[in-house]
Amino acid sequence: MRKITLALFAILMTAGATFAQVDKLMLEANRKSYSDAKKKADEAIMKKDSLKSKTWLTRGEAYLDIANSRDSVLTKADPTAPYKALASFKKALSIDPASPAKKYLTMVMDKDGKPEVEGQKMYAAFMDAGITKYQGKDFTGALKDLQMGMEVAPKDTTAAMYTGVIGQLAKNDAAAKVGYEKFMELGGKDAGMVYALAQIYKVENNEEKAMATINKGIALNPNNKDLKAEKINMLLGFKKIDAAIKELEASVASGSKVPQEVLNLGILYENKANELESELRGYREQLSKGNVDGLNKKIQTQKDKISAFDEEVKRLTDKIKKDPKSAAASKKQIAEVNQMKAEASTVLNDLNAESAQQAASAVNTVEVTKKYDAVKAKQDEAKAQASKYYKQALELDPNNYDINFNLGVMNFNEAVVIKKEVDSMDMNTYKVKGKAVEDLATEKFKQALPYFEKAYSIKQEDDLKSSLRSLYQILKMEEKLKALGE
């Protein structure tokens, strides 16, 4: 049995060697045949035959055979073979519009829905050349070949798709757009291609086309979460936070139980509240400039000082008249008082100039206050909605780090804003309402605490640890501060 097995193995090895030899002989024969046909065709166009359509047709077929040979020796020797074939077919057609060369220029389908051989061969030549260059990292060369493939097969989604992808790799967004747009025009639905095209428009800041593309992609792929998420990102990128909120709210209202989606809605509302803060800051600055009471008090103070200095000068002058012996000392005092009066007059002039400028600006404090109150109401509503959705997300996923962290940060930041109000108070204002405002800030810090602690139990991030340490210090929680460590 052993001898039979060994004998069979030897026969198979011999057969393998024989087949390999046959393949090699066939390859060399084909290579010679293609090379000879190309040489003959090139020689023919140098003669009078160059005026014949048939001559150019034959030359095109010879170069097309080389392009489709899958023989690296031939294709490397003439990497432009597909282009020479195409140029030859076009020349043949220009001489004779009825030439069979026309079939090579466009890949069309026969009555059975299969591509006709001639166009298929031309298409395959460019596609193979493009993919080979792509594999060699020659993206610019690959793009050129694939664009030709798309030209030959204008109804083929594959050529269009590859033109888009490799166009981006070649850093040619214009060409990539043509490919992706053609892909979608032909009925292509791939979410990745839609996303890529939308991103190109987004980078160009072409809001209309970016949004139209992503919306079409969602319509074609209604269950694709990435496209829906990107739509939200685009709306935010185009400063359409209200539209982004509306989009997410519709999803949540429809019964979405995805914690991240609900969390994102909370984040959007908090971002909206933060954006409104800059508007409120502008109104506060206007109101501070329009507040004339403080400025009038300063002006009156300087006037009172000047009146007091005038009275002192009169007193000293009268003293000199009554007691001439004191004249020297009194005159010295008069000089000092006049110097102080001059300084007070300079300050008064500056204050009067500021008052005149303020009057010229004519800040309508009543109108500005109305605007401030309206925006503040919007901000308060946005904060309430943010808190609502954060807590809703927390119910869906209590052990989610991001949800707990965001709730903690929101309360912590609100406490800091309240605390700044206390820090900016003068002593008289602090005596009236400082303690009440401090207590409100402390309450907000306390509300942040359980969320920060829960988040830290899930993930020990350094930034969170630093915030937690600050919170323990503010709330004077010495034991917890020690347990937290450095």
**Element housing 43 (H / E):** helix 2-44
Which residue, among 160, 233, 145, 153, has the nearest Cα to 190 in the 3D structure?
A: 160
Residue 130: pLDDT band (50, 70, 90) is: very high
Find the mean pLDDT for residues 197-214.
95
DSSP single-letter state for residue 175? H
Residue of 338, 296, 333, 301 whose CA lies nearest to 316: 333
User: For 396-413, what is each residue's pLDDT tens digit?
Assistant: 999 999 999 999 999 998
The pLDDT value recorded for residue 400 is 93
pTM (whole model) above 0.75: no
Q: What is the pLDDT of residues 427-441, one digit of tens each?
A: 777 788 888 888 898
Q: What is the pLDDT of residue 295?
A: 66
Token digits for 483? Answer: 């347990």
DSSP label at 430?
I
Structure token digits, residue 280: 């409120």
Q: Is a pLDDT exceeding 80 seen at residue 443?
A: yes
- pLDDT (average), residues 246-266: 86
pLDDT of 2 > 50? The answer is no
Contact criterion met (CB below 8 Å) for 86 and 148: yes
* CA distances in angstroms from 409 to 268, 397, 446, listed in the order given: 14, 18, 12
Residues 109-120 pLDDT 10s = 777 778 889 899
175 in Cβ contact with 193 (< 8 Å): no
* pLDDT over 70, % of the chain: 90
Instruction: Considering only residues 397 and 12, tell me which one the structure prediction assigns the higher pLDDT.
Output: 397
Q: What is the average pLDDT score of the chain?
A: 85
Distance, in Å, from the CA atom of 299 to the CA atom of 287, rounded to the nearest integer, reads 19
In degrees, rounded to 5, the angle at the alpha carbon of residue 378 between the alpha carbons of residues 376 and 381 is 110
Among 436, 389, 383, residue whose Cα is nearest residue 411? 383
Residue 4 has pLDDT above 70, yes or no: no
pLDDT at 137: 94
Q: What local confidence, expressed as pLDDT, does residue 3 receive?
A: 41
Write the DSSP symbol of residue 163.
H
Tell me the percentage of the chain whose pLDDT exceeds 90: 49
Most confident of 103-117, 172-186, 350-364: 172-186
pLDDT reported for residue 9 = 40
Mean pLDDT, residues 303-325: 83
pLDDT band, very low/low/confident/very high, at 243 (cuts 50, 70, 90): very high
- Tokens 């046909």 correspond to 37
Of the pLDDT bands very low, low, confident and very high (cuts 50, 70, 90), residue 31 is: confident
Of the listed ranges 81-95, 360-374, 375-389, 469-483, the one predicted with least confidence: 360-374
Please give the residue that has the higher pLDDT: either 295 or 269. Answer: 269
Calpha distance 317→311 (Å, rounded): 10
pLDDT at 11: 38
pLDDT at position 14 is 44
pLDDT of residue 363: 58
Q: Which residue has the higher pLDDT, 215 or 316?
A: 215
Output DSSP code: residue 50.
G
pLDDT (tens digit per residue) in 150-181: 999 999 999 999 999 999 999 999 999 999 99
Confidence of residue 320 (pLDDT cuts 50, 70, 90): confident
